[in-house]
A and B are shown apart, each in its own frame.
Chain A
Amino acid sequence: MGFATFWFIAIAVLWTGFFVLEGFDLGVGMLHAFVSRDEAGRRASINTIGPLWDGNEVWLIVAAAGMFAAFPAWYATMFSGLYPAMVLLLAGLIMRGVSFEFRGKMDSVRWRAAWDVLLTVGSLLVPLLIGIALADLLGGLPIAANQEYTGSFGDLFSGYSVFTGVTIVLLCLLHGSTFLALKTTDELRANARRIARVVGPVTTLAVIAWVAWTHSVGSEGVFLNIPELVTALGVVGAAGMLAAGRDGWAFASTTLAMGSAVVSVFVELYPRLMVSSTNPAFDITVHNGASGTYSLQVMTIIAAVFLPIVILYQAWTYHVFRARVSADQYRSGPDTGPVEPPEPLPAS
């Protein structure tokens, strides 16, 4: 296995890590206003991901930077070709990222309601657009011999890419509602489970259709490959476990389904990085899109040293914040209660 292939796998791992981890916090972002009507419940559901989302999002940053360093042609063609989608994606990421920070900073119902909307919309835009972008890699875009994108904005939205975006959004909803059921108590937990049971079957149908579609776009043969099978089984298992009321197993299943869905795309893609719909000879591949050998060697050492350390301390973070979050924590009493310092006295 060459360094270029190693880096292809590393980037697939980074994207998978991003969707598995940020997937549930995107889901919680979309759902936080729907699992509870009152502020205490919304706040509790946001706080299930409060300590985690920022670290999760870095997987996206590192995936993009890894593409830049290991496959400059991939990064350059994809990010410039998908220009308008990238602008929207950044807008979504910005709205979402700051809404966590700002929503609790003013004691006003309208202020919080506005940030709730931005958090919901941002959390929807991000998986939708990244889903479309990943599907475009496999589904093919007009790319010329010089590796430059020659299409227009409309070319980014094929039936397959849009359906992938929607499927990823559904998976995030399922992943997020299952996570909420696992991390909250009482009424909040009951609501999260109710949502998960509704989302479960819809997502299952969508994912199975998507797996078949992905297979037909990517492969010659009839039989599904292993990650595709695992995706289908994972999502069926998740729906089943939710029906049986096994939250922990359900979350393990959604994790599996989400992870293997992303892996499926990369398995179908290899050894290509971007498929050219103009001419298969213009495909960007791990061979014609990679950095120099020296760069790849250095990058491999860096990844081999740092990625395990990152996984260790992120796992520890999840362990530290393993306790369930209760809406009651944000409801009563000065000692268990308001997280905010008191309002200032009027200036004299």
Chain B
Amino acid sequence: MSQLDLARLQFAMTSIYHFLFVPVTIGVSGLTAVLQTAWYRTKREEYLRLTRFFGTLMVISIAVGVVTGLVQEFQFGMDWSHYSRTVGNVFGGPLALEGLAAFFLESTFLGLWLFGWDKLSPRLHLATVYAVVIGGALSAAFIMSANSWMQHPVGYQTNAAGQPQLNDFWALFTNPVFLRGYLHVLLAGVVTGSVVMLAVSAWQLRKGQEPEVFRISASLALLVLVPSLLLAMLVGSELGVTEGKYQPMKIAGAEAQWTTCQPCSFSMFQIGGGNKDQTPTKIIAIPHLLSLLATNHWNGKVLGLNPVNAQYNQQFGPGYYVPNIFIQYWSMRVMAYLATVVLAIGVWGIWLLYRRKLGHAKLFQRVAVWAAVLPFLMNTAGWLLTENGRQPWIVQGLMLTSNGLSPSVSTAQVATSIIVFLLLYAGLAIVAAVVMAKYARKQLAPARAHSDHPIPAVSY
């Protein structure tokens, strides 16, 4: 493999890993804040116990998220120095803002939340968990504004040396790709957090441990899950239309649509149709659906991969501008189909909740436990869809990925570092999974008869 392949592999590997933990952090921290608010308002012991129980999962997830996020930040300079050198004056701004405005907030107040139970007033302590939630959400906002600039560069002008120079910082945050993309990521986090909370609660309910307490968290998770998933689907489809406008390759690739069509049908499943053969055997095609998804119109026109490639050849010079179609086609379907499965589970749960049968529905509880893997697959597929779909551009229309590499770094160095991170991440995954599973199965801390006892820190 070349340095380009290895550097891309390293970036894909470390971002996917990082993004296993980020959505859990976003979702579980929000839900923990809701539980703690309920405790603050009602003073009911169940809410406090649930707050501390799910707070531990939040803390583990933040810890791994933070250290793997560091790898992401350093990697731009390490593997993609020419990219960093060229676009740092645009791309670095949101990153610095993330640190200053979001990351300090999240990390400092996490320490206060963890260790401040008996040192802060209940109201102030409640405020610290909200600071953590806000910090996490802001952090995602800045990263998404930087990423959206790579998808659809705005707010810059090109200088004499041909380098993009920022001239409108605000434009990064009114970028249409950012507005939809960020909302989609945020909702994906809430979906992930609520599925995790549902799965853990279902496990506890199956074991018959404290059913009256875990019914509360299962209900909360279900009530959050269904509307946030529906919204995520809606925003996601809007994001698809927006991306279709600025990155026609991405959307045509998601359907493996080689020729321009109008109206366009959507294939539920197909064989072939990749970069080599271009002639798919569509198994089930739904008329007009692709037009609707990609353009919001019943008879909308979707440009095919070959015509767009021809157009790019004229615009940017000879080259092959089509991304890997196999990844593009399937990542879109994995995301969308699994979302439908999760929605079905959520609706089933709501129905049980309505019938007051959640505590006894053994089959549902078993399914809900296994559903925990689904949001992680969906999140990964979503990122593959959006990042693979941008290739071969590192910044759409401005800079090719192959031009972003570090000239001073050797292929062997990248290969060695991939092995180092692979070993570290594998070790970390095993430890995090074992510890999280242990805590998820753990019995709740006993209720405290007297509230005048100090409440110890959650961990360390």
Binding site for B on A (CB under 8 A): 43, 46-47, 50-55, 57-58, 61-62, 64-66, 68-73, 75-81, 83-84, 86-87, 89-91, 93-95, 97-98, 100-106, 147-150, 291-292, 294-295, 298-299, 302-303, 306-307, 310, 313-314, 317, 320-321, 335-336, 339, 341-342, 344-345, 347-348
14 A-B pairs, CB-CB below 8 angstroms? A47-B457, A51-B116, A62-B96, A68-B73, A68-B96, A69-B89, A77-B81, A83-B78, A94-B68, A94-B71, A148-B81, A298-B93, A302-B101, A310-B100
Question: A80-B408, A302-B96 given. 19 additional CB < 8 A pairs?
Answer: A52-B111, A58-B107, A70-B96, A72-B88, A79-B84, A83-B417, A87-B417, A87-B420, A100-B63, A101-B63, A101-B460, A302-B100, A306-B104, A310-B104, A314-B108, A336-B454, A339-B457, A344-B443, A345-B443
The reply to whether B459 and A105 contact each other, CB–CB distance below 8 Å, is: yes
The reply to whether B166 and A295 contact each other, CB–CB distance below 8 Å, is: yes
The reply to whether B413 and A72 contact each other, CB–CB distance below 8 Å, is: no
Q: Which residue of B lies closest to A54 (CB)?
A: B107
Determine the chain B residues whose CB is within 8 A of the CB of A71 once the complex forms: 88
The reply to whether A314 and B104 contact each other, CB–CB distance below 8 Å, is: yes
Q: Measured between alpha carbons, how far is A298 from B90 in the docked complex, in Å?
A: 11
Q: Measured between alpha carbons, how far is A276 from B54 in the docked complex, in Å?
A: 52
Q: Which residue of B lies closest to A84 (CB)?
A: B413
Interface with A: B40-48, B278-286, B387-395, B433-441, which one?
B433-441
Q: Is B11 an interface residue (CB 8 A)?
A: no
Determine the chain B residues whose CB is within 8 A of the CB of A64 once the complex forms: 73-74, 77
Answer whether A62 and B104 are a contact pair too, CB < 8 Å, given A79-B74, A94-B68, A295-B166: yes
Q: Which of B64, B88, B207, B453 contacts A69 (CB 8 A)?
A: B88
The reply to whether B428 and A94 contact each other, CB–CB distance below 8 Å, is: yes
Smallest CB–CB gap between B154 and chain A, Å? 14
Q: Which residue of B lies closest to A78 (CB)?
A: B77
Q: Is B271 an interface residue (CB 8 A)?
A: no
The reply to whether B115 and A321 contact each other, CB–CB distance below 8 Å, is: yes
Smallest CB–CB gap between B223 and chain A, Å? 27
The reply to whether A51 and B435 contact each other, CB–CB distance below 8 Å, is: no
The reply to whether A54 and B108 contact each other, CB–CB distance below 8 Å, is: yes
Determine the chain B residues whose CB is within 8 A of the CB of A292 once the complex forms: 89, 159, 165-166
The reply to whether B59 and A101 contact each other, CB–CB distance below 8 Å, is: yes
Determine the chain A residues whose CB is within 8 A of the CB of B70 once the complex forms: 61, 90, 93-94
The reply to whether B92 and A291 contact each other, CB–CB distance below 8 Å, is: yes
Answer whether A55 and B438 are a contact pair too, CB < 8 Å, given A98-B63, A148-B408, A298-B166: no
Q: Which of A72, A91, A100, A106 contacts B420 (CB 8 A)?
A: A91
Interface size on B, residues (CB 8 A): 85
Smallest CB–CB gap between B198 and chain A, Å? 20
Determine the chain B residues whose CB is within 8 A of the CB of A55 once the complex forms: 104, 107-108, 111
Determine the chain B residues whose CB is within 8 A of the CB of A97 once the complex forms: 63, 66-67
Q: Measured between alpha carbons, how far is A27 from B336 in the docked complex, in Å?
A: 49
The reply to whether A294 and B88 contact each other, CB–CB distance below 8 Å, is: no
B 415-438 to A, binary, CB cutoff 8 A, 1 in contact else 0: 011001100100010011001001
The reply to whether A94 and B92 contact each other, CB–CB distance below 8 Å, is: no
Q: Is B363 an interface residue (CB 8 A)?
A: no
The reply to whether A62 and B100 contact each other, CB–CB distance below 8 Å, is: yes
Q: Is the interface of B mostly helix, strand, loop or mixed?
A: helix
Q: Which of B95, B119, B169, B407 contacts A65 (CB 8 A)?
A: B95
Q: Measured between alpha carbons, how far is A72 from B96 in the docked complex, in Å?
A: 12
Determine the chain A residues whose CB is within 8 A of the CB of B68 once the complex forms: 94
Q: Measured between alpha carbons, how far is A148 from B421 in the docked complex, in Å?
A: 25
Q: Which residue of B lies closest to A75 (CB)?
A: B77
Smallest CB–CB gap between A206 and chain B, Å? 28
Q: Is B174 an interface residue (CB 8 A)?
A: no
Determine the chain A residues whose CB is within 8 A of the CB of B431 once the complex forms: 98, 102
Determine the chain B residues whose CB is within 8 A of the CB of A291 once the complex forms: 88-89, 92, 166
Q: Which of A81, A94, A294, A306 contacts B166 (CB 8 A)?
A: A294
The reply to whether A90 and B71 contact each other, CB–CB distance below 8 Å, is: yes
Answer whether A320 and B108 are a contact pair too, CB < 8 Å, given A83-B413, A294-B166, A295-B93: no
B 157-170 to A, binary, CB cutoff 8 A, 1 in contact else 0: 00100000111010
Q: Max chain A CB contacts within 10 Å: which of B52, B81, B441, B457? A: B81
Q: Sort A-B residue pairs by CB-CB distance and give the 4 closest, nearest first.
A: A72-B88, A79-B77, A69-B92, A291-B89
Q: Which residue of B lies closest to A295 (CB)?
A: B89
The reply to whether A98 and B96 contact each other, CB–CB distance below 8 Å, is: no
Determine the chain B residues whose CB is within 8 A of the CB of A344 once the complex forms: 441-443
The reply to whether B438 and A106 contact each other, CB–CB distance below 8 Å, is: yes
The reply to whether B119 and A320 contact each other, CB–CB distance below 8 Å, is: yes
Determine the chain A residues whose CB is within 8 A of the CB of B73 once the complex forms: 61, 64-65, 68
Q: Measured between alpha carbons, how far is A302 from B459 in the docked complex, in Å?
A: 34
Q: Measured between alpha carbons, how far is A87 from B445 in the docked complex, in Å?
A: 40
The reply to whether B413 and A306 contact each other, CB–CB distance below 8 Å, is: no
Q: Measured between alpha carbons, how far is A43 from B460 in the docked complex, in Å?
A: 8
Q: Measured between alpha carbons, how far is A307 from B97 in the docked complex, in Å?
A: 11
Q: Measured between alpha carbons, how far is A149 from B86 in the docked complex, in Å?
A: 16
Smallest CB–CB gap between B129 and chain A, Å? 14
Q: Is B367 an interface residue (CB 8 A)?
A: no
Q: Which of A75, A95, A105, A147 contacts B435 (CB 8 A)?
A: A105
Q: Max chain B CB contacts within 10 Å: which of A72, A94, A100? A: A72
The reply to whether A98 and B428 contact each other, CB–CB distance below 8 Å, is: yes
Determine the chain B residues whose CB is within 8 A of the CB of A86 once the complex forms: 74, 77-78
Smallest CB–CB gap between B221 and chain A, Å? 21
Determine the chain A residues whose CB is within 8 A of the CB of B207 once the complex forms: 347-348
The reply to whether A58 and B104 contact each other, CB–CB distance below 8 Å, is: yes
Q: Which residue of B lies closest to A71 (CB)?
A: B88
Q: Measured between alpha carbons, how far is A85 from B366 in the docked complex, in Å?
A: 47
Smallest CB–CB gap between B163 and chain A, Å? 9
Smallest CB–CB gap between A114 and chain B, Å? 10
Smallest CB–CB gap between A134 and chain B, Å? 15
Q: Is B291 an interface residue (CB 8 A)?
A: no
Q: Which residue of A lies closest to B131 (CB)?
A: A313
The reply to whether B77 and A105 contact each other, CB–CB distance below 8 Å, is: no
